[in-house]
Amino acid sequence: MDDREGDRAVDRVRREVLTQLSTAADVRSDPVLAAWLDDDANVARFLRAEGGVEHAYKAAKRLVSMLAWMKEERPHELVCPACFKLSSGGVLEASAAGHYMHVVTYDLMNRPTIYSCLELAANKDIEDNRKHLISTFETAIGLMPPGVEQWNWVLDMHGFRLVDCDPRLAKIFLSLAGERYPERLGNFWVVDAPGIFSTLWACVERFIDPVTKEKIKFVKTDAKNGEQVGVDSTRPWMRQTLTRAPPRLQPGQASRGAGQPLQRTRRRILCAGDC
């Protein structure tokens, strides 16, 4: 499909969205929703997720659902309630009893890279974690340079315990990735997954669509010196990740030492001399 045909397909889907919307006027009167729908990249991403122009009606249906969700959830305004509290003076203050999931760097393709560590995440509440996921994904989108549409995620499994075996959070991520943020995930590296994680993986693996599953990579490190095991299979990942810090931080990133994840990830995950 050439650029002209692609533009026509995007316009067709956008018109179908407005036809399907019973509250099209509400969308146009909301500057955030209107701007989001007017962005060709957003419409094209949902069209690709459905398999192309022949599935324009299904793509429009998903976009209608997305707009309704955005109107209710207001993801662009969401701040994790566990990581930030409103002070008596009306100022957001970081909380120590929150999460450890931040955008810490870009890869060589200028994609924002998220780092999270289970050992350093104090909050295990499912709803709080759902909101933190959305907040972090929105931060990653806000940090994308022009032309970039994807993020990476490095999930450091150090500190994984039985309490982390709840499959609900994994299902929430899969739902968000598929329904609300399709085509956004670049790579997802699961680092040092313990044996106990296999139980959770067995529960959620069957729910993962093949495209997403292809992006999930399991990486092992030598915890003592930070060197990778199986360097040949993981070298592309090492070269793609952790090249530079993002230009600014958003609420949720500055809490609990936002600089530490980058240092820790380089120390624990990256090969010392071959990246």
Cα torsion 112, 245, 97, 73 to 10°: value is -30
The architecture (CATH level 2) of 97-268 comes to 3-Layer(aba) Sandwich (3.40)
Number of Cβ within 10 Å of residue 71's Cβ equals: 14
Exposure of 32 by Cβ count < 10 A (0-12 exposed, 13-18 middle, 19+ buried)?
Answer: middle
pLDDT tens digits, the chain, 275 residues: what are they?
Answer: 556 676 788 998 988 888 887 655 577 788 999 999 999 999 999 999 998 888 888 999 999 999 999 999 999 998 888 888 766 676 667 776 678 898 988 888 889 999 998 888 888 899 999 999 999 999 999 999 999 999 999 999 988 888 888 889 999 999 999 999 999 999 999 988 998 888 889 888 888 989 899 999 998 876 555 454 433 343 444 444 444 444 444 443 433 333 344 444 444 433 322 33
Q: What are phi and psi of 90, to 5 degrees?
A: 80, 20
List, in order, residues 6 or more apart from 158 with CB less than 8 Å away: 117, 118, 119, 191, 192, 223, 268
Query: Given this model, what pLDDT does residue 96 score?
Result: 66
DSSP 244: B
Query: Given this model, what pLDDT does residue 184 score?
Result: 97
Domain boundaries, the chain: 3-73, 97-268
Query: Given this model, what pLDDT does residue 23 score?
Result: 57
What does the alpha-carbon distance between residue 270 and residue 275 come to, in Å, rounded to a whole number? 7
Query: Given this model, what pLDDT does residue 232 score?
Result: 36
Query: Given this model, what pLDDT does residue 22 score?
Result: 66
List, in order, residues 6 or more apart from 37 with CB less than 8 Å away: 14, 17, 27, 43, 63, 67
**Token pair for residue 241?**
């990740």
